[in-house]
Chain A
């Protein structure tokens, strides 16, 4: 039976070609769209987590009110012991202390006087203790453009463009002019050991990255840190689990009456990230629903057109005694075959495009200049196991739905009228 129908579909291309193309196109679009959106949302969430928000972030309550300004005068104190305590209380996460700060980079001439100056955004991370993998987490190694990572105290990295602007090379000395956590003007000498380019506008403008102990010394922040970032050991953000950890932590450490009590926020609660996290979770459901609905309508329409074209054929088959149910069944079987091969072709075509977008990406840097959340320039698609079936299943189902709806017309044919229709 299937062989018979299969032959019919191959020999009568009018019966199979349009539904096959429609199904394959729809599935291909779904696959590409899913991979693209997963990539864009995933990249944005991951970048924000790694560079700014963590999967959870601990700050003082007062600091959190103006966290965008990194007010280090409101930093967390007593971090030498605190981070260890938190790590033991929340074993499912790795914690890393970070200090974000603003300042001025001053490059001396041969006489030691100011040759060039530029405002800088600084990040102090643990790079020398070997206790965590902050450099890997922030992709610093793979973002190096020249030189190397800091290996000894008082070495620092600058963003590549910034170093070019200041005309400074690895091995040169510069001074960070900043403000201590007590508001004092501070100066600290660093040796430039390398330059980096992250492909993130916010970071590539003018960034200095140094070991957190050097930053503490430079900013008079001994035993203090601006923020403590927590990352799930699994490496991926889980909003439900993060919310539970946040609630548990805040219940113990946060007090509304003490502006210096510690407050934990999940990734979704920071920097307008909530909508991305929420959207990411609902993306698959939205995609499937929209696709099935749209494709069903299109295929229903295609089925109706096919039904009209095959009006005579169905009439003849009914006239020679084929039962309506059998005609309907063969129509559904045909749609099964079309759905299967159409979806297969769509997945194949979609995967080729998604793979290209995953490897090469699209540079949207010009649109990211004023982004409030940290976004990479280069957006890439991301193929996940879901990408393989996210288009196939609804593609297959929607052809069935289309055939089911279009085939109802068969039951409306009046057997008594058939010969009259055929004579006409």
Chain B
């Protein structure tokens, strides 16, 4: 009885975790978005930059075009639900990438194709539990543990450090079902865009590979703008 009272008392200090991740979704997810980004990939030996333009609609549709380097210019990727097609202008071929390949690194970065093209809401995939508070870069954060309740998912568990004022994660850890830490991200340069807070810079670190991580920098982003349907068709890959 005493234990239950104490436990309830402890939890009473924290707000409802689900409400916090709903707020995160409001900041991070959108009906659709168009953004230009740079990936600065710090490999074990060299650092190189890739520039991309991406269109996404909901959780299932995404289209990305490589703008830089020259060798990759014109390469395009289309993701419809769990299928991914890549068009390479040098071969003039559209190649479908099978399911497990979606977890491969994009251009040698610390991001997988899933990381790059995924925009699912946390509330649609995870149960949340607040485990404490910590300070990250001077911001008071809730530490939230997420456990997936859906099966087909890249990361079974996540740990978020969520800014208590802006409801935006400042740090994330992604875990496999076995508990192995797979990736770590640091989110910074949080800016107010329309009615939401959004991180313009995310540093991804794949914990299973060497290298100094990948900086993913949003150069410009527009939310909820009209996107023509043809963008999300295979025909647009060769255009």
Q: Which residues of A contact B (CB under 8 A)?
A: 62, 73-74, 104, 106, 108, 112-114, 117, 175, 177, 179-180, 182-189, 220, 260
- Shortest CB-to-CB span from A208 to chain B, Å, is 15
12 extra interface residue pairs, beta carbon distance < 8 Å, beyond A175-B95, A182-B41, A183-B43: A108-B93, A112-B94, A113-B94, A114-B94, A114-B96, A175-B91, A179-B105, A182-B46, A185-B104, A187-B91, A187-B93, A189-B93
Nearest residue, chain B, Cβ from A180:
B108
- Shortest CB-to-CB span from A113 to chain B, Å, is 6
Nearest residue, chain B, Cβ from A259:
B44
Would A187 and B88 be within 8 Å (CB), given that A114-B95, A177-B95 are in contact? yes
Instruction: Say yes or no: is B109 at the interface (Cβ < 8 Å to chain A).
Output: yes
Cα-based distance from A175 to B75 in the complex (angstroms): 15
A74 touches B108 (CB 8 A): no
Jot down 28 A-B pairs with beta carbons below 8 A, ordered by A. Answer: A62-B44, A73-B43, A104-B101, A112-B94, A114-B96, A117-B96, A117-B98, A175-B91, A175-B93, A177-B95, A179-B105, A182-B43, A182-B48, A183-B41, A183-B43, A183-B109, A184-B50, A184-B71, A184-B107, A184-B108, A185-B106, A185-B107, A186-B88, A187-B86, A187-B91, A187-B93, A188-B90, A260-B45
Instruction: Say yes or no: is B92 at the interface (Cβ < 8 Å to chain A).
Output: yes
Instruction: Say yes or no: is B72 at the interface (Cβ < 8 Å to chain A).
Output: yes
- For A183, the chain B residues whose CB sits under 8 A away are 41, 43, 105, 107-109
Cα-based distance from A338 to B44 in the complex (angstroms): 72
B107 touches A74 (CB 8 A): no
B93 touches A106 (CB 8 A): yes
Nearest residue, chain A, Cβ from B97:
A177
- For B93, the chain A residues whose CB sits under 8 A away are 106, 108, 112, 175, 187, 189
Q: Sort A-B residue pairs by CB-CB distance and give the 10 closest, nearest first.
A: A183-B108, A187-B88, A184-B107, A187-B91, A189-B91, A114-B96, A106-B95, A182-B108, A175-B93, A175-B91
- Shortest CB-to-CB span from B118 to chain A, Å, is 18
Nearest residue, chain A, Cβ from B77:
A185
Interface size class of B (residues with CB under 8 A): 20 to 34
- For B44, the chain A residues whose CB sits under 8 A away are 62, 73-74
Cα-based distance from A260 to B86 in the complex (angstroms): 33
A104, A106, A184: the one within 8 Å of B72 (CB): A184
Pick the most buried of B46, B91, B105, B106: most chain A CB atoms within 10 A of its CB. B91
B41 touches A187 (CB 8 A): no
CB-CB contacts below 8 Å: B105-121 with A? 105-109
- Shortest CB-to-CB span from B103 to chain A, Å, is 13
Cα-based distance from A260 to B90 in the complex (angstroms): 31
- For B71, the chain A residues whose CB sits under 8 A away are 184, 220
Cα-based distance from A293 to B65 in the complex (angstroms): 76
- For A73, the chain B residues whose CB sits under 8 A away are 43-45, 108
Cα-based distance from A281 to B88 in the complex (angstroms): 53
Cα-based distance from A337 to B95 in the complex (angstroms): 77
- For A106, the chain B residues whose CB sits under 8 A away are 93, 95
- For B108, the chain A residues whose CB sits under 8 A away are 73, 179-180, 182-184
Nearest residue, chain A, Cβ from B96:
A114
- For A112, the chain B residues whose CB sits under 8 A away are 92-94
Nearest residue, chain A, Cβ from B109:
A183
Cα-based distance from A220 to B93 in the complex (angstroms): 18
